[in-house]
C-alpha cells in the first residue's frame, strides 16, 4: 500500500481526547419522552446527562469542548438489524413477486450480465464502505452485516459499528453451513439466518428442517419468517426465538409481509432494511412507509430500531438508549417539538444533521459543522447527495474514483445521486482531476462516451491484503 494509508486511516479513526459537552438540545429518554439538557461524552462513552433550562449557560473548563445545539433533538443512533453491505450500490433486481427467495435468486443471478456485471467490478471493500455511508446518511450507527465480514475493513476506522459477537448462516440452502457456524458461535451470542422467506410449502417446511438441525431457543434469530404457520409462530414465541422484520423487502419479493399483530405479539423483534437488491430506500424511508401504509404506531417503530433491536442482538455497549455510561452513539435532527417516536416517523435522510458514533463525529451537515471546533472535524470528507452537502468520515474521494472506474458511471445510493463536493471541505489532495472525470450531472451515456482510462488500482486507506477479485455473487 502507498504512503497515504497510514495518514488516511489515522484521520478516519482519531477522536478527541477532550470531553465534549453538547448543551441546550432536547434529549430523548424514550420513545415518548425528551427533555432539554446537557450531554457530555469523553472518548466513546457518555459521561453525564443533566436537565436544565433550555437557554441556561453551561460552565465548562478550558479542557472541555462545548457546542450549542439549541433547536436540535438528540436521539440514540439507529440500529439496522439486517443488511448486506456488498450490495449497497446495486439497483433492485427482478420483477416479482415470487413464491420464495430461491425463485427470486434464480431469476436475478446473472453475474455476467448488466447491471450485475458492472457492479461486481467495484471492489467489495469499496461496496462495504458505501454500505456504511448509506446507513450513516439515515442515522444508523450500528448494523448487522449478513454476509462475509472482512475484519480488515470493519476495523476501528469504519464509521458504523458492526458488532463482532454474533453468528450467522445464509439460510437452509446449505444445512451443513448452518450446523457448522452455529457450533462456532459463542454460547451467549445470537445466531442469525434467513428463514421461511416465502409464502409456499417450501418456506413453511424450513422451520421444521431447522428444528431438526439445531436446538431452537432464544439464541436463534430468524430473518423474514413470512412462511411460518400459526403453530410454528407459537413455538418460536414459546422458546424465545428472535425475529428480524424486513417488510419493504418482503413486499417487493413476495407481495406480502407479516401482519402488525405478529410484530406486536412477538416479544423479540427488530427491523432491518435488507439489501437494495430487494428494498429501495434507506431505514428512515422504510420507517415512514411502515407508519403510513401499515399503520404502525410510532413508539413501536422507535423501539424496533433502538431498545428492542439492542435487546435482540444482545448488544453490550448501551446502544439504543442515551444514558450515562452508554456508548456515545447518537444523532441530531431539527427539533419539531414532537416526541422522539413521532419525530422518527416523519424525518428523512436530509434531516439527519449530525451522527456521532463511539464519540466520533462521523456525519455532519455544513451548518452543524460550524458549531464544532476543527479538531472534531478532521478526517471528514465532503460529498454531495442530490445536491445536499454532507461531511462524512469516509475516504469519499477514493470511493468515488474506484466506483466510477468499476461502473463507468456515477453511482446511486438509495436512489440518490452521488457526487464529489466542490466546497472548501473537499480533500485538498484531489484524487480526481476535472479533466479525468465528468461531473455527476452528466448522463450515464455521456459519461461512458468520455472513455475514462483506468488508473492503477490503489485503494488508499485499506490494507493491501484486503484487495481481492470478486468473482461470484452470493445472496
Q: Contact at 8 Å (CB) between 41 and 49?
A: no
Q: How far is the CB of 82 from Zn ion (least distance, A)?
A: 6
Name the segment binding Zn ion (CB under 5 A); options: 13-21, 104-112, 119-127, 268-276: 268-276
Of the pair 143, 355, the CB lying nearest Zn ion is at: 143
Which residue among 86, 125, 274, 282 contacts Zn ion (CB under 5 A)? 274
Residue ranges in 138-157 that form contacts with Zn ion under rule CB under 5 A: none
Residue ranges in 282-321 that form contacts with Zn ion under rule CB under 5 A: none
Q: How far is the CB of 425 from Zn ion (least distance, A)?
A: 35
Of the pair 22, 81, the CB lying nearest Zn ion is at: 81
Name the segment binding Zn ion (CB under 5 A); options: 64-72, 251-259, 269-277, 389-397: 269-277
Of the pair 274, 303, the CB lying nearest Zn ion is at: 274
Would you state the cell numbers that stand for residue 426, as one nine-digit string? 473537499
Q: How far is the CB of 258 from Zn ion (least distance, A)?
A: 15
Name the segment binding Zn ion (CB under 5 A); options: 32-40, 162-170, 237-245, 271-279: 271-279
Size of the site for Zn ion (CB under 5 A): 1
CA gap 322, 336 in Å, rounded: 19
Of the pair 101, 409, the CB lying nearest Zn ion is at: 101
Q: How far is the CB of 81 from Zn ion (least distance, A)?
A: 11
Of the pair 171, 421, the CB lying nearest Zn ion is at: 171
Of the pair 274, 447, the CB lying nearest Zn ion is at: 274
Q: How far is the CB of 253 from Zn ion (least distance, A)?
A: 10
Q: How far is the CB of 154 from Zn ion (least distance, A)?
A: 18
User: From residue 228 to residue 267, what is the string marking binding to Zn ion with x (rule CB under 5 A)?
Assistant: ----------------------------------------
Q: How far is the CB of 475 from Zn ion (least distance, A)?
A: 8
Q: Note whether 86 binds Zn ion by CB under 5 A.
A: no
Residue ranges in 322-381 that form contacts with Zn ion under rule CB under 5 A: none
Q: How far is the CB of 377 from Zn ion (least distance, A)?
A: 35
Q: How far is the CB of 156 from Zn ion (least distance, A)?
A: 26
Name the segment binding Zn ion (CB under 5 A); options: 2-10, 19-27, 202-210, 273-281: 273-281
Name the segment binding Zn ion (CB under 5 A); options: 1-9, 68-76, 272-280, 394-402: 272-280
Name the segment binding Zn ion (CB under 5 A); options: 132-140, 270-278, 346-354, 418-426: 270-278
Cα atoms in the 13 Å half-sphere on the side-chain side of 116: 17
Which residues lie near Zn ion (CB under 5 A)?
274
Amino acid at each position: 500500500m502507498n504512503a497515504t494509508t497510514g495518514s488516511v486511516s489515522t484521520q478516519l479513526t482519531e477522536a478527541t481526547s477532550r470531553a465534549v459537552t453538547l448543551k441546550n438540545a432536547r434529549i430523548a429518554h424514550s420513545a415518548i419522552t425528551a427533555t432539554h439538557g446537557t450531554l457530555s461524552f469523553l472518548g466513546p462513552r457518555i459521561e453525564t446527562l443533566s436537565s436544565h433550562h433550555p437557554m441556561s449557560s453551561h460552565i465548562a473548563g478550558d479542557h472541555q469542548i462545548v457546542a450549542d445545539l439549541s433547536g436540535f433533538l438528540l436521539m440514540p443512533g439507529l440500529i439496522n438489524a439486517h443488511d448486506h453491505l456488498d450490495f449497497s450500490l446495486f439497483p433492485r433486481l427482478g420483477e416479482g413477486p415470487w413464491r420464495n427467495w430461491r425463485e427470486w435468486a434464480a431469476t436475478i443471478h446473472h453475474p455476467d450480465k448488466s447491471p450485475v456485471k458492472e457492479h461486481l467490478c467495484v471492489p467489495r471493500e469499496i461496496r462495504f464502505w458505501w454500505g456504511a455511508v448509506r446507513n450513516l446518511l439515515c442515522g444508523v450507527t450500528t448494523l448487522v452485516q449478513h454476509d462475509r465480514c472482512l475484519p480488515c475493513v470493519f476495523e476501528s476506522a469504519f464509521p458504523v459499528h458492526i458488532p463482532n459477537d454474533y453468528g450467522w448462516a445464509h439460510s437452509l440452502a446449505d444445512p451443513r453451513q448452518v450446523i457448522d457456524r452455529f457450533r462456532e458461535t459463542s454460547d451467549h451470542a445470537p445466531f442469525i439466518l434467513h428463514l421461511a422467506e416465502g409464502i409456499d410449502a417450501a418456506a413453511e417446511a424450513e422451520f421444521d428442517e431447522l428444528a431438526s438441525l439445531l436446538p431452537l431457543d432464544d439464541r436463534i434469530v430468524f430473518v423474514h419468517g413470512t412462511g411460518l404457520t400459526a403453530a410454528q409462530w407459537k413455538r418460536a414465541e414459546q422458546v424465545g426465538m428472535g425475529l428480524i422484520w424486513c417488510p419493504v423487502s418482503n413486499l417487493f419479493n413476495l407481495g406480502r409481509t407479516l401482519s402488525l399483530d405478529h410484530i406486536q405479539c412477538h416479544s423479540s423483534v427488530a427491523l432491518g432494511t435488507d439489501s437494495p437488491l430487494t428494498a429501495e430506500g434507506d431505514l428512515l424511508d422504510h420507517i415512514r412507509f411502515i407508519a403510513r401504509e401499515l399503520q404502525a404506531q410510532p413508539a413501536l417503530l422507535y423501539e424496533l430500531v433502538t431498545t428492542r433491536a439492542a435487546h435482540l442482538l444482545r448488544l453490550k455497549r448501551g446502544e439504543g438508549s442515551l444514558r450515562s455510561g452508554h456508548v456515545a452513539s447518537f444523532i441530531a435532527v431539527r427539533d419539531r417539538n414532537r416526541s422522539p417516536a413521532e419525530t422518527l416517523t416523519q424525518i428523512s435522510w436530509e434531516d439527519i444533521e449530525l451522527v456521532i458514533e463511539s464519540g466520533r463525529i462521523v456525519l455532519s451537515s455544513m451548518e452543524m459543522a460550524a458549531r464544532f471546533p476543527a479538531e472534531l472535524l478532521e478526517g471528514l470528507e465532503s460529498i454531495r447527495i442530490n445536491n445536499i452537502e454532507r461531511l462524512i468520515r469516509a475516504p469519499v474521494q477514493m470511493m468515488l474514483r474506484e466506483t466510477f472506474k468499476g461502473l463507468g458511471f456515477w453511482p446511486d445510493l438509495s436512489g440518490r445521486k452521488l457526487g464529489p463536493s466542490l466546497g472548501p471541505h473537499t480533500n485538498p489532495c484531489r484524487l480526481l482531476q476535472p479533466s479525468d472525470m465528468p461531473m455527476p450531472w452528466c448522463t450515464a451515456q455521456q459519461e461512458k462516451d468520455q472513455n475514462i482510462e483506468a488508473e492503477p488500482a490503489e485503494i488508499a486507506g485499506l490494507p493491501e491484503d484486503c484487495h481481492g477479485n470478486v468473482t461470484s455473487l452470493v445472496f
